[in-house]
Amino acid sequence: MARPKNTDSEKTRAEILGVAARLFSRKGFHAVGMREIASEAGVTQPAVHHYFGSKDELHDAVLDIMYGELANAGHAIQTAVLAADSPERAVEIGVRELYRFGVRHRDAVLLGMRESVDASKKIRTGRAQLLGDVLLDQGSEALSLLTGRDRVQLRMALLSINFLMSRYVCLNPTERKLLVRSEKGEPLEADSIDSQIEEHLMSAAKRLLLI
The CATH number covering residue 15 comes to: 1.10.10.60
Question: Do 162 and 116 belong together in one domain?
Answer: yes
Spatial CA neighbour of 41 closest among 11, 6, 7: 11
pLDDT of residue 139: 80
Question: Do 204 and 100 belong together in one domain?
Answer: yes
Final residue of a domain: which of 33, 53, 73? 53
Residues of the chain with confidence (pLDDT) below 50 = 1-5
Spatial CA neighbour of 177 closest among 198, 199, 196: 196
Question: Do 13 and 68 belong together in one domain?
Answer: no
Q: How many structural domains are present in the chain? A: 2
Q: Could you tell me the residue range of the domain that residue 18 belongs to?
A: 1-53
**Dihedral sign computed on CA atoms, order 19, 25, 27, 31:** positive
What is the separation, in whole angstroms, between the first and last Cα of the chain? Answer: 61
Question: Do 47 and 69 belong together in one domain?
Answer: no
- CA angle in degrees (0–180, nearest 5) for 74-78-82: 175
61, 17 contact by CB (below 8 A): yes
Largest CA distance in the chain: 61
pLDDT of residue 4: 43
Question: Do 132 and 29 belong together in one domain?
Answer: no
> Global pTM?
0.80
Angle between helices 34-41 and 45-52 in degrees, nearest 10 = 100
Question: Do 81 and 167 belong together in one domain?
Answer: yes
The CATH number covering residue 112 comes to: 1.10.357
